[in-house]
Amino acid sequence: MLEVKGLTKSFGALRACDGIDFEVKEGETHAVIGPNGAGKTTFISQLAGNLRPDAGSVRFAGTDITTLPAPKRARMGLARSFQITSVYPEFSALDNVALAVQARSGHSFRFWRKARGDPALVGPAEQVLEQVGLHHRKSILAANLAHGEQRQLEVAMALATEPRLLLLDEPMAGMGIEESQRMIELLSRLKQAKTIILVEHDMDAVFRLADRISVLVYGRVIATDVPEKIKMNEEVRRAYLGEQV
Amino acid sequence: MSFALLFEQLLNGLQFGVTLFLMAAGLTLVLGIMNFVNLAHGSLYMVGAYLALAAAQWTGSYLAGVALGLAGTLVVGMIVEVVALRALYDRDHLDQVLATFGLILFFNELVAILWGRAALFASVPSFLSGHIELFTGSSYPLYRAAIIAVGLFVAVLLWYVVTRTRLGMLIRAGATNRTMVAALGVNIRLLYTVVFGFGAALAGLAGLMAGPIYNVQPGMGELILIQVFVVIVIGGIGSIRGALIGSIIVGVVDTMGRAFLKPLLSTMISPTAGEAAGPALASILIYLLMAAVLTFRPQGLFPARGA
Amino acid sequence: MGRIVGWSIGLLLLIILPPLVLKLGQPFYLDLVRRIMILAIAAISLNLILGYGGLVSFGHAAYLGIGAYTVGIMGFYGITSGWLQWPVAIGASALVALAIGAVSIRTSGIYFIMITLAFTQMLYYLGISLEEYGGDDGMRLKAKSQFSGLIDLADPVAFYYLALALMLVSVFLVYRIVNSRFGMALRAAKSNDARTRAIGFSPYPYRLAAFVIAGAMCGLAGALYANHTNYITPGLMSWQQSGDIMFMVILGGMASTAGPVLGAFALLLLEDLLSGWTQHWQVILGPLLILSVIFFRRGLSGILYKPDA
């Protein structure tokens, strides 16, 4: 579904991404791991359309999207959640998700009818909130949600656009044990129906959810394989897993 | 239209350009490093003009007036920074715009209370009131030539400070990554006050030099400030080089346009076209230029932050 | 509930004002409040793009000028029918807003502020340089806009009620717009630009459309203003005027329905009061504005009500 070839991005003298080859099959959950500074967020940003690569190409469902801006990619079915929570703080959880629903419902040049009461927006939004387990908090302002709930909202907004591919950037960032468990359960429910690229530090989650894992170190992919093989890969252990307890 | 006339207007454009540069350099530094929109920068220009004029009349000496005017503007700038602006560094641009707008109203009215609303006459000092011979054969006012000289000197001085001194290094680093500079333990508050004071002094210098040529009156700062904005948009925020090149371009285009557009249109199209469209077009020429630059290079010609 | 009570009281006061002040022999207040309501329309339009859209446009007074000059210039050439003048005023403002917005909205932050300021100044200079229409001194309005006998703008009370009606229409229009899908998309773009792009909205068309609507509405205010003052000067397009309108929006409370109206009343009544004390009232207003920005963040409507979410 997603094919990346030779993706390269430099910031001055720093090579954040160095000729990355990467692909995701339909229905697969493909995790991307690597030590801090490996270039994971730079990589995701180029897939999502927030950064332009210096070289290389990105193909999504057969179409070249390398230079396509982020909104267009979202409308093609490529949804993203952010590592640092990025929602609409002054709107309620329901409003947040409803906006995501609205974004995929054609153009929004409708000036008269109230958006908030619109069942075409509210219905699907409530469904998604139900899916991620936030329905009971739908009227709470996003800024007043607990951190873990905000991370759930992030995922909800990505889901609400009915994506073909989900780009999840550290969905469990900053979560406690209980919250992380809930998120892992949510993601295992999701992975049955969706194609997911998961960037994560939480190894528990990665090994439970991933069908394949790619390891990114200093901007290069040093290994791509099924979880059991990655666990035993010498290079990976040295570069990364060796740092974990 | 002779070459001599053309060259003379070119020099006038250069003179206007360096005046703009003195303002633009201070403003672009403050914008770039402190991320602070200071609409009251024009007020410092005005304060410089008024203080120098008042000091010269009081002491009877032009040079004393210049020194006191510069020092006074520096002091006023620093006071304003500490009293009013510090509270606003963390605020969004809208708040900064509004607060400095309030400052403009205050300064314009203060000046009107102290010196009246009518335009004051600042005279060219006697040692600068002659003419010099140009290679074209015509003569050019010495005072304007002096402004060009001072402006270019300041440009070189700024270039030296920014590229060759530690302070300059901090300024350049701050312009590209403010948080990093703060994280490195540099005393950001002091840096801000120094940069702001520097900018204020430059504005004051521009104001006191401009006094004899343009009018000294309340509101004089805002007229030039908006042209300085055009310079910064064209040149690029945070970049001294952009400020210099932008200033020269704007100064020359505006001056040449006002001098030659009407006769040009009159001869090339018709006298009525020249009469009707000439002055109007000349007055908006630099804004059209700005619109053109924005269309093709929204970040300006020489942005500090790179592509 | 509190909101409805507030609006009702305010509306009632505005409706009974004309007969009241005429009874008391103080027609000056009729003029004053009418002027405030006309400028409130300008503030309401700016609130759409500034309060809800997050576009810090320091050049909004340009559209006051365009609207006013359209009426003045058409009148100059003998076209005094309001049915023709006012739509052209609105249309011209919309077109100029489209042109300026198309170029400016691609930028953001400091740039956007400076650019909108510069373009307004450009129009101001254009206004000064057009000698036939008075240049620096401005032009007299030959005759008020005529509406084929339906309403006589020379009648101060009739004009007052027209201004009131149009102000209410503007409030209502903006209210519907900001709660529609369009408005939500616009507000989302203000709240979190990156997130908005990530779900599939490109902010530019929404911002541009809002900019044009706001310009058009302000053009109407300009047409009204020309009829109110009978005199049109380039000063109407000055950046000081833009700053004034901006202050009304901030003072009243951004992104609120009542805010711009409250702000217009507050600022203009304050100016009227201060200028009665001293001709140097700006030396007091300036610091007052600075203090209000530093300490008074949510504006008047934030004090009276909880914020519209």
Tell me whether residue B306 is in a domain: no
Q: With an 8 Å Cβ cutoff, is C50 touching chain B?
A: yes
Q: Which of A70, A110, A116 sits opposite C198 (nearest CB)?
A: A70
Q: Which of residues 53-92 of B touch C (CB under 8 A)?
A: 84, 87-88, 91
Over residues A205-234, the pLDDT tens digits come to 888 888 999 888 888 888 888 888 887 887
Domain of residue A210 covers 1-71+165-174+195-245
Nearest to B279 by CA among B263, B296, B295: B263
Inter-chain CB proximity A116 and C179 less than 8 Å: yes
Cα dihedral value B176, B179, B181, B186, nearest 10: 150
A209 neighbors A33 (Cβ within 8 angstroms) = no
Q: Which chains touch C (3 or more CB pairs under 8 A)?
A: A, B
Mean pLDDT of C274-280: 85
Chain C residues lying within 8 Å of B295, measured CB to CB:
103
User: Quick check: C121 and B226 CB within 8 A?
Assistant: yes
Interface contact A115-C191, CB threshold 8 A: no
A190 assigned to some structural domain: no
Is C12 at the interface with chain B, CB within 8 A?
Answer: no
Cβ pair A23, A4 in contact under 8 A: yes
Whether pLDDT at C72 is above 70: yes
In a shared domain, residues A60 and A169: yes
Q: Does residue A123 sit in the same domain as residue A243?
A: no
Q: Please check the confidence at residue C42 and state whether its pLDDT lies above 90.
A: yes
Taking the C-alpha atoms of residue A73 and residue C201, their distance in angstroms, rounded to an integer, is 10
- How many domains are contained in chain B? 1
How far is Cα C54 from Cα C186, in angstroms, rounded to an integer?
9
How far from B203 is each of B21, B247, C115, CA to CA, in Å?
A: 9, 14, 21
- C106 close to A (CB below 8 A): no
Closest CA to A158 of A171, A173, A176, A147: A171
Mean pLDDT over residues A53-60, rounded? 89
Both A169 and A67 in one domain: the answer is yes
Flag whether A208 is in a domain.
yes
Report if residue B160 sits inside a domain: yes
Q: Å from B92 to nearest chain C CA? A: 9
Structure tokens at B122: 């600042």
C179, C181, C207, best to mutate vs chain A, most A CBs in 10 Å:
C181
Q: Residue C201 and residue A48: Cβ atoms within 8 Å?
A: no
- Chain C environment of A100 (Cβ under 8 Å): 199
* Cβ-defined contact of C119 to B280 (cutoff 8 Å): no
SS3 B170: helix
Instruction: Identify the pLDDT of residue B306.
Output: 41
Q: Which residues pair with A78 in a beta bridge?
A: A165
Tally the domains of chain A.
2
CATH number at residue A170: 3.40.50.300
CA C220, distance to chain mean position in Å, is: 9
Amino acid A35: pLDDT: 81
Q: Would you say B156 and B169 are in contact if contact means Cβ atoms under 8 Å apart?
A: no
Percent of chain C with pLDDT over 90: 50
Q: Rounded mean pLDDT of A22-44?
A: 86
CB proximity C211 to B under 8 Å: no
**Same domain (yes/no): A112, A229:** no
Query: B99 and C290 in contact by Cβ < 8 A?
Result: yes
* Judgement on whether residues A33 and A21 belong to the same structural domain of the protein: yes
| B283 is a domain residue | no
Taking Cα atoms as reference points, which of B143, B114, B124, B141 lies closest to residue B56? B124
- In this structure, what token pair is assigned to residue B94? 């809208």
Point out the residues of chain B with pLDDT beneath 70: 1, 174-178, 304-307
Q: What is the mean pLDDT of residues C83-99?
A: 95
Mean pLDDT of C272-281: 85
Per-residue pLDDT at C64 exceeds 70: yes
CA atoms within 13 A of residue A121's CA, in its CB half-sphere: 24
**Would residue A95 count as lying in a domain?**
yes
Measured between alpha carbons, how far is residue C285 from residues A122, B217, C280 in Å?
47, 20, 9
Q: What are B141's strand-pairing partners?
A: B131
Q: Are residues A58 and A125 in the same domain?
A: no
Distances (CA, A) of B225 to A18, B231, B249: 46, 10, 16
Buried b (16+ CB within 10 A) or exposed e, C82-121: beebbebbbebbbebbeebbebbbbbbebbbbbbbbbbbb
- Contact status, residue A125 vs residue A94, Cβ threshold 8 Å: yes
- Look at residues A162, A185, A218 and tell me which one is the last residue of a structural domain: A162
Domain ranges, residue B192: 3-217
**Contact criterion met (CB < 8 Å) for A111 and C199:** no
User: What is the structure's pLDDT at A245?
Assistant: 41
What is the per-residue DSSP string for C103-141?
HHTTS-HHHHHHHHHHHHHHHHHHHHH-GGGTGGG-EE-
If you ran DSSP here, which 8-state letter would residue C81 be given? Answer: B
Whether residues A63 and A101 fall in one domain: no
Q: Is B27 within the bounds of a domain?
A: yes
* B134 lies in some domain: yes
Closest by CA to C104, choosing from C220, C182, C96, is C96
pLDDT value for C303: 64
Q: Which residue from C129, C243, C281 is facing B283, i.e. has the nearest CB?
A: C129
Each residue's pLDDT tens digit, C162-173:
999 999 999 999
- How far is residue C137 from each of residues B217, C131, C132, C134, C243, measured CA to CA in Å? 19, 9, 11, 5, 22
Q: Which of A107-111, A143-147, B170-174 reaches the highest mean pLDDT?
A: A143-147
